[in-house]
Amino acid sequence: MGLRLLFSIYILPVGHPWTQNILNIERERRHKIIEIAKDRVVEINTSSNVFLGSGFLLSEEGHVLTAYHVIFDEKSKCYRDTSFNLSWYTTISGQKHKKKISSPAVIDTFSINYDAAILEINLKASSPSLKKTAYFKLADSLYSRSGDDVLCVGFIPSKYTLPIAFAVKGMISTWRQNVVVPNKEGTGHIELDVLQLDMTAAGGVSGSPIIDLISNEVIAYMVSVDLPGDFKQSGFATAYCISNIKSLINDSHD
């Protein structure tokens, strides 16, 4: 819950003339966060433009984080394509409205265990051509707590049109640190920092950023609308914390 909203609820009475003004400020602040996020959230497609999922920009050089299962098919044990076509909306200098950008991308690095993949956009081949991109600031979820408000922004498939950009507000239901789970190779275990989210999620949401509504920074990435193992509980979504993949992100920037 935003600081201004807390102030309005716990200090000012409901009928106070300032209460509605403060609520309006909080609403406008949230709208601004969503508009900024839309410049940084990416629609991930195959090279033939079959929609796969969402991702988000990590650097001005065009690195994009998504969930590994967005680009890798676990059942057939192969990548969904050899290269990918990424699209996102951005504000072009001198233009009033956001413009949709498309660009080819390839896999830079990945982690199967942390369900994370980093793609690298070819900015020179983007249409229109870009020299750099806007990107999210990342944060550790160390200070996140149950009850904190978060925002998920990404793309979902549509039966009749192109994928649709969406934004959904939710709340951290549970934050669990150093959860021990078997690794994918079956040779041992890994530790995960996991957020259980109380929010509505749909297909295509995997790879979307989870944005802290106080700091406006990304603290996690969506991996599933279901919870694995002992997390499994209907109506909740799962996100893996950025803290799990700090070394992966650093390697991609080198």
Q: What percentage of the chain carries pLDDT values higher than 90?
A: 39
Arithmetic mean of pLDDT, 48-76 = 93
Give me the pLDDT at residue 134, please. Answer: 87
Is residue 92 pLDDT above 50, yes or no?
A: yes
Q: Tally the domains of the chain.
A: 2
Is residue 6 pLDDT above 70, yes or no?
A: no
Give me the pLDDT at residue 2, please. Answer: 47
Give me the pLDDT at residue 11, please. Answer: 57
Give me the pLDDT at residue 57, please. Answer: 95
pLDDT digits over 19-49, tens only?
667 677 777 888 888 888 888 999 999 999 8
Q: Is residue 85 part of a domain?
A: no
Q: Is residue 199 part of a domain?
A: yes
Arithmetic mean of pLDDT, 105-113 = 94
Arithmetic mean of pLDDT, 63-79 = 94
pLDDT digits over 129-187, tens only?
778 888 999 998 877 888 899 999 988 887 666 777 888 889 999 888 888 888 888 88
Beta-bridge partners for 241? 220
- Mapping DSSP to helix (H, G, I), strand (E, B) and coil, where does residue 165 land? strand
pLDDT digits over 176-229, tens only?
888 888 888 888 898 989 998 988 777 778 999 999 988 889 999 999 755 455
Q: Is residue 113 part of a domain?
A: no
* H helical segments located in the chain: 3-10, 17-38, 68-71, 246-253
Query: What CATH number does residue 232 fall under?
Result: 2.40.10.10
Q: Is residue 17 part of a domain?
A: yes
Is residue 233 pLDDT above 60, yes or no?
A: no
Q: Is residue 168 part of a domain?
A: yes
Cis peptide before 128 (omega within 30 of 0): yes
Give me the pLDDT at residue 108, please. Answer: 94
> Taking CA 79 as the corner, what is the angle to CA 110 and CA 123, rounded to the nearest 5 degrees?
65
- Mapping DSSP to helix (H, G, I), strand (E, B) and coil, where does residue 229 land? helix
Give long-range contacts, CB 8 A cutoff, 24+ apart: 184-192: 184/112, 184/113, 190/113, 190/114, 192/114, 192/240, 192/241, 192/244
Q: Which domain holds residue 29?
A: 3-38
Give me the pLDDT at residue 1, please. Answer: 45
Q: Is residue 51 part of a domain?
A: no
The average confidence (pLDDT) of the chain is 82
Six token digits for residue 224: 């599933």
């951290």: which residue's tokens? 172
Q: Is residue 115 part of a domain?
A: no
Give me the pLDDT at residue 24, please. Answer: 76
Q: Is residue 124 part of a domain?
A: no
